[in-house]
Amino acid sequence: MAVSWYAVAVLAATALGASVAPPEKQVLEKSSCGRVWITVHSPEIRRSSDSLLDAIELNWDFSGCSSRPRQIGLFNGQPSSWDTALIRHNINSVQARVITSVSLGPGTLPAGWDTDAGPKGPHCLWPWVGAGDNGISVTNCLKIQPTWMEDNAHRINRLRIGQLALPGTHNAGSWRFNTEVSNLARDSFVLCQDRSIWAQLVYGIRYFDFRIAYYDFYPREDDRYWLNHNLIRVRPLVPLLREIRQFLDRTKEVVFLDAHHFPVGFYQSNGALVRDAHIGFLQIIQRELGPHLAHANNFGTGVGTRGPTLQSLINANRRLVFSYIDNSIVAANNWLWPPLPHLWANTNNPTQLFNFLDRAISTSPLPSARSPLYSAMAQTTPTALDILLLRGSLRDNANDVNHIVTARLASHWRSNANIVSTDFFLGNDVVDLSIMISVERGSRL
């Protein structure tokens, strides 16, 4: 039996999300052909007597295989026999997914990674998936990948940052309200993620799309900066920066932070800069993240380049690449990385989204690009009428596209994608695929 690319790692076995001490090394994913994987259903499933949150999805793709397994199942732990399956389904197609009636539950991060750093390597949460005929021949688990860059350093560190495949989150800070009037964990049209910045990092996300707002009515300077979704305040900025700092302090990973949009307080109504807001923001970035900032002027960032190698950032111990959307601010602060292109379709139609991204990714990066990086914004955008009439939700929209994003990254986008940013990232397999693709690209150097 051939074993997948991240074959052997310490397994932190879990029971319904509660971690236990890691046993001996075990195989986390195996298959001779094709793959199975677990995702989390983004929308709430309403039932006659109650509702189901975070339903587990079983996914498979046996394209190109001479045969496919006949059945797939969900397991509470590494599959050993069909007798231990919680749920079993017949496999009647080469590629599909099944939404189960089992919830992920609290989703506590295993191996001590819930609030601080644990052992290196991938670690499994409680749900496993297995497929096969009479026996189980293909397995995988829902996993965290907190140190995937270090784990694969000998394979990927010669890649330039523009050559990496990087999993990202769109509106990364919009994951749970933390305002004076609300602490909602779910809503229809504001929250784009359901895991904290720390948890996103631990799962393996390495690119964050931040939308920063400035409110001068707060007495304390730190309290004036928020992460927004457009005009709506979601979470204070500084505590989230400290989660990034904690992660960088405790790992050797490289993180990409993008100040992508300033919806409130950074510009006057005529478009003129509110310089004090920008200056205060940059001072906070330098105070909170300064020891890890990779200064753009110290690394190769010329037009048309793919940027520095991962190894050069690690050797300098400067592992935070901070991009800034405003050219005039970048020009005055040469440590900032230039604006990062965003491939945004601005459509609520999935077909139009993927037609646009297929074309845009195939022609990126542009020769004139100042940034070595670019981000495919792999989510649909509700219209004003969608929001006014409460048609669907961001969770529904993510559910409509996330499984297609997985399939596209594994095929159409495999050779050229850089950053792929999504909503509710547990609904896709972008983290694992990005690691796999980065390793593939590194092996060709």
Name the helix (H) or strand (E) containing 261: strand 255-264
Same domain, 287 and 247: yes
- Given a cut of 90, whether residue 426 has pLDDT beyond it is yes
Task: Domain of residue 13: give its range.
Answer: 8-144
Same domain, 245 and 111: no
Is 393 among the domain residues? yes
Q: Which two tokens stand for residue 110?
A: 């295993």
β partners of residue 137: none
Same domain, 117 and 167: no
Same domain, 404 and 432: yes
Question: Could you say which of 116, 144, 172 is where a domain stops?
Answer: 144
Same domain, 160 and 287: yes
Same domain, 116 and 184: no
Is 1 among the domain residues? no
Yes or no: say if 34 and 63 are a contact pair by the CB < 8 Å rule.
yes
Question: Which of 202, 240, 233, 193 has its CA nearest to residue 215?
Answer: 233
From the centroid of its chain, how far is CA 273?
Answer: 31
pLDDT band with cut points at 50, 70 and 90 for residue 8: very low
CATH number reported for the structural domain that contains residue 435 in this entry = 3.20.20.190
Same domain, 168 and 109: no
Same domain, 191 and 69: no
Is 3 among the domain residues? no
The pTM score is: 0.94
Same domain, 134 and 250: no
Question: Could you say which of 96, 112, 144 is where a domain stops?
Answer: 144
Is 316 among the domain residues? yes
The predicted model gives 168-185 an average pLDDT of 94
Same domain, 416 and 367: yes
CATH number reported for the structural domain that contains residue 132 in this entry = 2.60.40
Is 2 among the domain residues? no
Report the DSSP pairing between strands 25-27 and 8-10: antiparallel
Burial state string for 100-124 with b = 16 or more CB within 10 A and e = fewer than 16: bebbbbebebbbebbeebbebbbbb
Is 211 among the domain residues? yes
Same domain, 200 and 121: no
Question: Could you say which of 144, 160, 187 is where a domain stops?
Answer: 144
Same domain, 222 and 119: no
Is 83 among the domain residues? yes
Model confidence over 195-253: pLDDT tens digits?
999 999 999 999 999 999 999 999 999 999 999 999 999 999 999 999 999 999 999 99
Max intra-chain CA distance, the chain: 69
Q: What percent of the chain has pLDDT over 70?
A: 94
Report the DSSP pairing between strands 51-52 and 207-214: unpaired
Model confidence over 327-375: pLDDT tens digits?
999 999 999 999 999 999 999 999 999 999 999 999 999 999 999 999 9
Number of domains in the chain: 2
Yes or no: say if 256 and 205 are a contact pair by the CB < 8 Å rule.
no
